[in-house]
Amino acid sequence: MGGVVEMQVVDGDAMAPLRVEQLFERYEGVMSRFLPDSELSCLNASAGAPFVATPVLFDAVAAALAWAERTNGIFDPTVIDLLEAHGYDRPFDAGPGPVREPPGRSDWRAIALDAATRTIRLPPGTRLDLGGIGKGFTVDRAIAMLGPDANAFVNASGDLRAAGHGPEGEGWRVGVAHPRSPDDDVAVLVVRDRAVATSGAVKRNWRVGAERYHHLIDVRAGGPARSDLLTVTVIADTAETADVLASVVFLLGSRDGLDLAQAHDADVIGIREDGRVVTTPALAAVAA
């Protein structure tokens, strides 16, 4: 999952942390593009032929394609070729890979799903990356596993979902840090039965020579996005929605991105390159 998973349970099952840990390990074994024997890697190796997927992988791919449709391809699960061409071809803590000319683009619209048989058919040469949705997808299922009365949160490296009324009965407090001053919060959210995700190019970036690269690829430009935003925090009903929209809002920029988030009943706190904090109207009074 590319980071630390944190959880807290109030008055819950003592075995819940172990069960959540096992769920994350299992889902990483399904969805990681960095594990050569993951189910996703097997799917990618089968391009051109039908692949019968487990329910987890089929649902994750179906969700990713649905978000590609909703965002008109701004969220694109076939972005893996561009990611690898710009050096993100290995886990981030291993350092960047070589930059090379990207191959021709794949078309997510040509991927065929058959829900009745859980079959996925990728066109020849097409591969998928679920990094833009996998953590949120998993967080949602971890919270669901804790049951409808759970009072808990699960946080996968900034993609979190909080259920119940929190340890003090008023909800779960979530700080939104300023990317240029991580010890300072621009806002403190109080959330209950909501999800929060943050995306940006501040942490996951690298240089090759004089060029700076990062992992948020704008498929329209064929390379790392040139956004007016440093970071984006999205508050939504599910961690999957917040996870996807945090990246999409960043890619679209502060004007079009906030409009798209509101169209999906989500709220945003964005910090622009010029230091200005921008929010959707519902959060205007929360941000500093």
Would you say residue 270 has pLDDT above 90? yes
Q: Are residues 181 and 267 in the same domain?
A: yes
Contact 84, 215 (CB under 8 A): no
Q: State how far the Cα of 246 lies from the Cα of 266, in Å rounded to an integer.
A: 10
248 occurs within a structural domain: yes
143 occurs within a structural domain: no
Tell me the mean pLDDT in the region 213-242: 85
53 occurs within a structural domain: yes
Q: Are residues 236 and 154 in the same domain?
A: yes
Q: Output the DSSP codes for 110-175.
A: G-EEETTTTEEEPPTT-----TTTHHHHHHHHHHHHT-TT--EEEEETTEEEEESS-TTSS-EEEE
Would you say residue 154 has pLDDT above 90? yes
Name the more confident of 172 and 200: 172
Q: State how far the Cα of 162 lies from the Cα of 238, in Å rounded to an integer.
A: 10
Q: Are residues 171 and 257 in the same domain?
A: yes
Would you say residue 212 has pLDDT above 60? no
Q: Are residues 81 and 171 in the same domain?
A: no
Q: Are residues 20 and 112 in the same domain?
A: yes
Q: What is the CATH number of the domain that holds 278?
A: 3.10.520.10
Tell me the pTM.
0.91
The CA-atom distances, in angstroms, between 164 and each of 171, 193, 224, 254 are: 7, 6, 38, 31
Q: Are residues 208 and 278 in the same domain?
A: yes
129 occurs within a structural domain: no
Q: Are residues 155 and 235 in the same domain?
A: yes
Task: Pick the last residue of a domain from 104, 121, 138.
Answer: 121
pLDDT-derived band at 93, boundaries 50, 70, 90: low
30 occurs within a structural domain: yes
Q: Are residues 106 and 34 in the same domain?
A: yes
Q: Are residues 108 and 217 in the same domain?
A: no
14-42 pLDDT, tens digit per residue, is: 899 999 999 999 999 999 998 999 999 99
127 occurs within a structural domain: no
Q: What is the CATH number of the domain that holds 44?
A: 1.10.3980.10
Q: Which residue has the tokens 């008055």?
A: 11
Task: Take residue 256 and report the two structure tokens written for it.
Answer: 């079009």
Q: Are residues 207 and 257 in the same domain?
A: yes
Q: State how far the Cα of 26 lies from the Cα of 24, in Å rounded to an integer.
A: 5
User: Strand locations in the chain, DSSP E?
Assistant: 5-9, 50-52, 112-114, 119-121, 152-156, 159-163, 172-178, 181-191, 194-200, 205-208, 211-214, 217-218, 223-224, 229-236, 267-272, 277-279
38-90 pLDDT, tens digit per residue, is: 999 999 999 999 999 999 999 999 999 999 999 999 999 999 888 887 665 55
Q: Are residues 155 and 272 in the same domain?
A: yes
Q: C-alpha dihedral over 37, 38, 39, 41, to 10 degrees? A: -80
* 198 beta partners: 233
136 occurs within a structural domain: no
Tell me the mean pLDDT in the region 243-262: 95
> How many domains would you assign to the chain?
2
Q: Domain of residue 79: give its range.
A: 10-121
Q: Are residues 110 and 161 in the same domain?
A: no
135 occurs within a structural domain: no
